[in-house]
Amino acid sequence: MEKQTFRIFERLRFAALLTFVSGFLDAYTFTTQNQRFAGLQTGNLINMMVHLADGHVFLSLTYLVPVLFFALGQSVNVFLEPLVRQKGYHWHFVSSCLITIGVAIVAVYSPFVGHNATISGLSFCAAMQLDTFKRVRGQAYANIMMIGNIKRISQQLTTGFLQKDRKAISKGLHIAWVLLTFCLGAFAAALLTQIIGEYALYTVLIPLLMINAYLLFEKHPETASSQYEGSLMENTR
């Protein structure tokens, strides 16, 4: 049986860095930005409706800010991707650089501006990350929202144990690992914001720069891109 190979952005250690960043950003914004989330828009919508029901109309509308900028980030990503690919550039690397630059800019101005400016920038970046990186070792996953990942863990492990399918168990454990790193990122953000406040955002630049380095130094990304896109076409036939 031929050994399956994956692009660097589908490998487990890469996915672990992405979910660490996601967990960090959501915990950071929750603790420093009036309990709003950069990526978990369901939580923002629930909070918005709860405050609206309590009669706090203006406060409820502040929870709409990250939702709108998350949607904007998604739209910009959809617009940019074909343009970048047409120019022959490595799309995942370009997107990762834009995300890193965006988070760095927010880290600089966050301690000096209102909450809306911070949450809007981070929600925009979170949307780009979610839309750019969609698979880990060949299977779909979400690097921001964990509910789908929890579902996949349960499905794969249950199927694996019932049918004695080691491949399914392995897939379930891969998703479990990225779930764990999401939790670690959230824990790190909660801890660091207690110590250094909003300046904690600078620390998440470390895993983001590691992500950029992985993509930059991937061997022969152009050839790998062709093979990767070909394999995706085969899988969708």
User: Which residue shows structure tokens 């299977």?
Assistant: 139
- What residues does each domain of the chain span? 8-219
Instruction: Count Cα atoms within 13 angstroms, Cβ side, for 56.
Output: 10
- The torsion of the CA quartet 112, 115, 121, 126, rounded to 10 degrees, works out to 130
The closest alpha carbon to 97, from 184, 19, 214, 177, belongs to 214
Q: How far is CA 116 from CA 23, 34, 104, 112, 211, in A?
A: 20, 10, 17, 12, 27
Give 100-131 pLDDT, tens digit per residue. 999 999 999 999 998 999 999 999 999 999 99
Domain 8-219 classification at class level? mainly alpha
pLDDT of 4 strictly over 50: yes
pLDDT band at 222 (very low <50, low <70, confident <90, very high): low
Give 174-218 pLDDT, tens digit per residue. 889 989 999 999 999 999 999 999 999 999 999 999 999 999 988
pLDDT band at 141 (very low <50, low <70, confident <90, very high): confident
